[in-house]
Structure 1
Amino acid sequence: MAPADPWVSRSHRRQSSITSASFKSGSLTTSSPFIGSFEDSLLQGRMSTPPSASFDFVASIGVLGSSDLPMRRRCPPHLHVGFSAVFYASPGDPRSSPYVGTIDLYQHYLRLLDPPGVAAELPMPSAKLPRFPGYPVPERGQVQIVLKDSNETAFRPFLVPYDLTGLDRQGAGGRTFVRQKSYSVEQLDRKGRLRFAVHLQFCSPPERKRSRRSEAVRTPRYYLYHTIRVVFASRGSEPSDEWRIVRETPDSGATAINVDGSARFSPYPGPPDEWTMARKKAKERLKASAMARLEASTSTIEPPRLDLPSSPPVTATTLSHPIASTSTAGLAANGADERQIAIRLSTKDPKFQIPPAKFLVPASWRRFHLSELINKVLENDSPVPFDFLIDQTLLRSSLGAYCAATGTSEEVVLEVEFLPSTLPPQLESTTPSEDWVSDISLAVRGAVLTASYAGTLSLQHNDLPPPSTLTFAGHDLSVLSTCYVPHPLGSEDKRWIASGGMDRVGRVWEYSVPPLSLTAQPEVPAPTTLYTLSLHQAPISSVRSRPLPAVPTTATSAPHLLTAGWDGLIGLWDLTPGVNEGDADLEGADRKKKRRRQSTTVVNKTPMAALRGHTGKVSRAVFDRADVTKAYSAGWDHSVRSWDLSIGAEISSKTSDKVLLSMAQLTAPNLLATGSTDRLICLWDLRTDATQNISLTLAGHTAPVSAIAAHPTSSLMFASGSYDSTVRIWDARSPKQALFTLPVPKKEGDEDRSEPEKVLAVDWDGERLAAGGEGARVISWRVSGQGEPVANKE
């Protein structure tokens, strides 16, 4: 049986571990220990009234460890567990209780060892068998539990910080719990009514016996285990609600921890015998299954042959001329001597449509042979390379090898989708930067605009005289975001750039590129601060303008800007001269001195609107590509929000179980791509009638995804950057794997470095892909292939 529930066994020792806080008043109070009450009975599941019918829910469980831990232990993969919940009628109260449910982690991991309907083998190698019936967590961090309904729609997140330092009790093993409760406080009832609660149980299994040689090497393991008790209200929270949060642990009154950890933690003997026996039987089944497969592979079996005519069923009525058998010498010299595979080719690209037909091709054919076949069908004078998708997987081997690797029968007709190929990227250059690179823009042809932690912007432009670099200095702290801004009418000889960062002040810069001269080297005037933008009370994480016109030097009647910050605010700015202007607002003595030295033309702008809705840091806010009255934002509160800028109001909010670090709108309509801390990329369906918030999930990165950049013309292609020191190119039509993985090249002298060089920024103009990060350099790759020529370049 599973271990006893410490929620019940320790009820006589419960005490508040931290104070509870009122979100509005800011007052601090200390919670009292539990007493026998309706609330106590509800939390323990010992109600005298009968429960309601059970309702099905799903819990998505994750954890984010402290930053001083290795990445592999800091952010383990999320766990999804189904559970049921009920509610009770309150005695003497017409209102019903919140929902109460138990997430059984022990039974979840036990089922992984013996899945229903699988008697002979497990769907995982023995190395992947869970070694313990619990969710692995780092020593310190924050547990994130997102509750979802039966339609996989997230409706309630729980964020519970914890610290398990000393839980292993020097290898003897220990266990503890953390309980967090949320009360809705009313004017006449300051204690409040219980609306949400979560009870987490942690353990550290006792250390296995080690040899004397390995006694010095000991890494404690920590787990979220047994069961998780959740209480959640049927009604969601409102912005006007006032909350009192109470967090409890056992014996929290102790000020010190004994050597054996007895002040805070109880002994834990390890998982029950039932688990040990189940895991032993699972390993035996795997071993027997592996032996059976080995014996089957050594026996000689005649492969089945496809009973189809020697030529594909294509007639002169479907094409301009009949096609000979694809196994002729023109495409494969020895095709007639090989086994054949039937395929059906199709494409969603109207430029390369071919009549529907089945083809009989040799099993040894690869992408080159299939591309040659399509080019012959299309009668292309200049061959076009193609990529091929089978069941959303890129074909990277021969057709026969694909069938063998996936277990696909060669007797079925393979449905093969083809699309114009993207040629492998080629490393072009690496350019040093002053400090970590936080943002990159390639919106202007021949130019690279970067923001750095040194507090400066750098513009490298082919039109500038040597050394072809312009530096923008003015921010007091690190710059986190930058972009080009379409300048207004009347300023045709000037160009604008916007930026924001840790100093909480947004800036709009003006610079000019002198005309080329054959007689003397032109003089480049220093860039100047045109506007300061005052709104945010925390660092500005995102600065984005309306989409650039066809030629960036073209003036616009009303340039607009979006800023977003860690304070949860999004600012909408009209940069038209004379609109929403005031005195320069530069804080601090240093800024006052700087203001006296600057020209009086520095003007402070106030926002057209401040968009409120996010409850955490906003990572990115962008204008819609097609409709500039719409905008989208994503943030740390797990949400993607849509905005109507004409009225300054939120249109919709879509939630998830992920901390969103980056976002970009794809050129395909109603599609956003986000990167998150759980190492996944998600595609969001923005249509109001969409049945799911996230339409597609792409996995491949091994660390948080910090940057996303969409291809400017190809509707479903984008690039991503991650803390795992790679940049990946994706096509949404092939979600199971990236088209290309580009590792960040090692610096000279850093060949032995084991820690990855985090990528913080990525941009892609369709021909060139640039990335930067903590390596303090900009890395460029030449990428060619899909997409039309980019129009919005000089």
Structure 2
Amino acid sequence: MEIVHSDGNEAQVQIRFVTKQQRYAVPNYPLSVHSSIVASELNTIINELLKESNDVENEVEFDFLVCSQFLRTPLVEHVAERGIFTEEVIDVEYVEKHPLPEPKDCLIHDDWVSAVAVCNKWILTGTYDNKLHIWTSKGKHRLVIPGHMSPVKAVAWISLNDDNASFVSASMDQTCMIWSWDITKNSVECVHVCQGHRRSVEAVSVNYDKTLMATGAWDNILLIWSTSTQEDDDVESASKKARSEYASKTKAPKRAMKGHKQAISGIVWSDKTEIITSSWDHTIKIWDSELGGIKHEIYGDKCFFDIDYSPLSRAVITGSADQHVRLYDPRSAEGAILKVKFTSHSQWVASVRWSTVNEHLFISGGYDNLVKFWDTRSPKAPLFDLMGHEDKVLSCDWSNPELIVSGGADNTLRIFKSKNVGR
């Protein structure tokens, strides 16, 4: 790094501003600034340049990336930490600062909100009093659905159109139930009871074309099921013999896969045939759902409580018992598969979810009552702490880019409005 001294005896560095957001582009000639400059001072300079060269009249807040990470310390410390001591001009990339998600509704339940899934304007929740609830994104309660005999641990949408929808719920009663909802009549019925697990079912995930789902449980087994609401061939004969309505709805798994030594805590499909699971046995496993075997294993230090995969970044995030969120690149050919560790939660991290529209953003929910809003380029601090829960956060979802939702042991589901900015 070239350091020159000004008359004030202050060390100077050469920087060049760059951006991918063309509406905020400024001339990219090198500028001389003091080496201990911080983000707020860079923001002032950029806004001055914008006033001179652009039609941008209002002040814009920016974040600054140096060496692919947000500047959170004085510039000289930031580059020294990354081993950059070069005479080259330092590129400082600026992006519009993400706005704080706005707290909207707080939906009151009768018990812990342990599962949540959003599809368009509908919110599906599962609770510890064995029930499911359907809400609108505006916070209006549409339906309460009894049926399970024990707490609901996971929910997922299968299909949705204007008139009807289907979804699945997984429970500590060892079953999953596939439901059909007539939206026009606002009536729901259980069309299948998926039986095959021998312990509490902890996780469920539906594949991209909505034809299959995978479930994981405290029996350590990963089961694959058809999501079809029609009767399965493999249980047809048994169904014909069955006398009770409940038995006639029984669905058997298409495939069982063994490999985990403790409970499966999280499941996500990463492509048509690939499933990624997290477990209390300190491992992440990548499975081939067609061949029924393990393709790859990643070993951790602590129990994993949740996992999510981003098709945008092709990266995996996990929540753990040691309070950290970790980012893995399972396909990494260079160096370690573990790429980044995010440290800010002070208790177990129970739930993690990627943004569906921005490869850098994700949320995490923890037993410290907080939902944290992260950018992968800021591992030492989240962009925001989303406050409101008065007890541990058990579940969160960001399937609708405009809504961040989180369920907690304070019997509430909290909704935050998220604005997407080009980044």
Distance 2:133 2:266 in 1: 21
Inter-CA distance 786–378: structure 2 relative to 1 (3 Å threshold): farther
Task: State the 1:733 CA deviation.
Answer: 1.2
The number of residues matched between the two structures is: 409
CA shift digits 1:330-356 (9 cap, x unpaired): xxxxxxxx9976423345679977775
Distance 1:415 1:560 in 2: 47
Of 399, 402, 411, which residue of structure 2 is paired with 1:776?
411
Of 210, 214, 217, which residue of structure 2 is paired with 1:565?
217
TM-score by length of 2: 0.84
Distance 1:745 1:507 in 2: 29
Inter-CA distance 405–580: structure 2 relative to 1 (3 Å threshold): same
Inter-CA distance 396–651: structure 2 relative to 1 (3 Å threshold): closer
Residues 725, 758 of structure 1: 8 Å contact kept: yes
Match status 1:574 vs 2:209: no
Residues 134, 142 of structure 2: 8 Å contact kept: yes
Q: Which 5+ residue runs of structure 1 have no aligned equivalent?
A: 1-303, 309-337, 515-522, 548-555, 587-591, 747-756, 789-794
Task: State the 1:707 CA deviation.
Answer: 0.5
Could you tell me which amino acid in structure 2 is paired with residue 606 of structure 1?
A
> Paired residue for 2:159?
486
Could you tell me which amino acid in structure 1 is paired with residue 153 of structure 2?
L
Of 280, 285, 292, which residue of structure 2 is paired with 1:648?
292
Could you tell me which amino acid in structure 2 is paired with residue 698 of structure 1?
F
Could you tell me which amino acid in structure 1 is paired with residue 266 of structure 2?
R
> Paired residue for 2:145?
472
> Paired residue for 2:16?
344
Inter-CA distance 688–403: structure 2 relative to 1 (3 Å threshold): closer
Of 15, 23, 30, which residue of structure 2 is paired with 1:358?
30
Match status 1:457 vs 2:132: yes
Inter-CA distance 569–355: structure 2 relative to 1 (3 Å threshold): farther
Could you tell me which amino acid in structure 1 is paired with residue 126 of structure 2?
A
> Paired residue for 2:321?
677
Distance 2:312 2:55 in 1: 27
Residues 433, 777 of structure 1: 8 Å contact kept: yes
Q: 1:249-288 counterparts in 2 under 5 A?
A: none
Distance 1:459 1:388 in 2: 41
Task: State the 1:656 CA deviation.
Answer: 1.6
Distance 2:196 2:246 in 1: 22
> Paired residue for 2:379?
735
Inter-CA distance 647–406: structure 2 relative to 1 (3 Å threshold): closer
Inter-CA distance 773–340: structure 2 relative to 1 (3 Å threshold): same
Residues 306, 410 of structure 1: 8 Å contact kept: no
Task: State the 1:539 CA deviation.
Answer: 0.6
CA shift digits 1:372-421 (9 cap, x unpaired): 25756984668764311346664468xxx665899999998654232332
CA shift digits 1:480-514 (9 cap, x unpaired): 00010027xxx984210101110001100011211
CA shift digits 1:569-598 (9 cap, x unpaired): 111111232434527999xxxxx9xx84x5
CA shift digits 1:279-310 (9 cap, x unpaired): xxxxxxxxxxxxxxxxxxxxxxxxx97459xx
Residues 331, 337 of structure 2: 8 Å contact kept: no
Of 181, 186, 190, which residue of structure 2 is paired with 1:524?
186
Residues 535, 606 of structure 1: 8 Å contact kept: yes
Match status 1:416 vs 2:51: no
Residues 532, 585 of structure 1: 8 Å contact kept: no
Distance 1:530 1:741 in 2: 40
> Paired residue for 1:504?
174
Inter-CA distance 782–462: structure 2 relative to 1 (3 Å threshold): closer
Inter-CA distance 436–422: structure 2 relative to 1 (3 Å threshold): same
Could you tell me which amino acid in structure 2 is paired with residue 532 of structure 1?
V
Could you tell me which amino acid in structure 1 is paired with residue 321 of structure 2?
T
TM-score by length of 1: 0.47
Could you tell me which amino acid in structure 1 is paired with residue 176 of structure 2?
G
Inter-CA distance 621–355: structure 2 relative to 1 (3 Å threshold): farther
Residues 365, 393 of structure 2: 8 Å contact kept: yes
Inter-CA distance 447–563: structure 2 relative to 1 (3 Å threshold): same
Task: State the 1:447 CA deviation.
Answer: 1.9
Matched position secondary structure for 1:720: strand
Could you tell me which amino acid in structure 2 is paired with residue 534 of structure 1?
Q
Distance 2:250 2:52 in 1: 63
> Paired residue for 2:123?
448
Q: 1:697-716 counterparts in 2 under 5 A?
A: 697-716=341-360
CA shift digits 1:678-729 (9 cap, x unpaired): 1111111111635313111111111111100110110021000111111111
Residues 323, 343 of structure 2: 8 Å contact kept: yes
Distance 1:716 1:478 in 2: 34
Inter-CA distance 758–305: structure 2 relative to 1 (3 Å threshold): same
Inter-CA distance 405–386: structure 2 relative to 1 (3 Å threshold): closer
Match status 1:611 vs 2:257: yes
**Larger-gyration structure (1/2):** 1
> Paired residue for 2:392?
758
Residues 51, 57 of structure 2: 8 Å contact kept: no
* Cα root mean square deviation, aligned: 3.7
Higher relative contact order (CA 8 A, sep 6+): 2
Matched position secondary structure for 1:366: helix
Residues 500, 506 of structure 1: 8 Å contact kept: yes
Of 537, 562, 580, which residue of structure 1 is paired with 2:198?
537
Of 165, 170, 190, which residue of structure 2 is paired with 1:495?
165
> Paired residue for 2:103?
427
> Paired residue for 1:369?
44
Structure number with the higher strand fraction is 2
Task: State the 1:677 CA deviation.
Answer: 0.3
Matched position secondary structure for 1:372: helix
